[in-house]
Structure 1
Amino acid sequence: MSALTLHLLRGLAGLAWWLLLPRAQVHSRPPREQLGTMDITTGLTSCFLCSLLPAGWVLSHLESYKKQE
């Protein structure tokens, strides 16, 4: 075999361990409890505060960040 073939086979053998890992058994079913309005509001508000608020802060202060000190 050529050196390239040996190198490729060695690479494939290194990836084989990933295929042998046990996988979680995930089953989909209806939720045990329905989410209330307050739960949904809290979740959406926290997503807004954690992702959109910092991005808005940076965009609104972009001119001051561009200034060289």
Structure 2
Amino acid sequence: MSGLLRTIASRAAPSLRQPTVVQRANLYSGPAKGKVGAAESVIGIGLFALAILGPAGWILAHLEDYKKKE
């Protein structure tokens, strides 16, 4: 039985010692390639807000329908 445990430990130990995923960040130090306008910013923020708050608003608007037992 100890031979089996040694075999399992010897195979598992290298993977436990070193990280299997190496993360590298892509950093750019230069300025942006193009400027983002005010209209683009408003549209982008509006779409993000709609995507996040839209489903919650739908549920709250139809809360009475969900409470009905049919």
TM-score clears 0.5:
yes
Name the CA shift for 1:65/1:4 in 2 (closer, same or farther; >3 Å): farther
Give the Å deviation of 1:58: 0.5
The list of structure 1 runs, each at least 4 consecutive aligned residues, that deviate by more than 6 angstroms after superposition, is: none
Query: Which structure has the bigger radius of gyration?
Result: 2
Unaligned runs of 5+ in 1: none
- Partner SS state of residue 40, structure 1: helix
Number of residue pairs matched by the alignment: 66
Q: Does 1:35 align with 2:56?
A: no
Give the Å deviation of 1:9: 5.2
Unaligned runs of 5+ in 2: none
Q: Percent identity?
A: 27
1:10-49 matches, within 5 Å, as 10=12, 13=15, 18-19=20-21, 26-29=26-29, 30-49=31-50
| TM-score computed with the length of structure 2 as normaliser | 0.60
Give the aligned CA root-mean-square deviation in angstroms: 3.5
| TM-score computed with the length of structure 1 as normaliser | 0.61
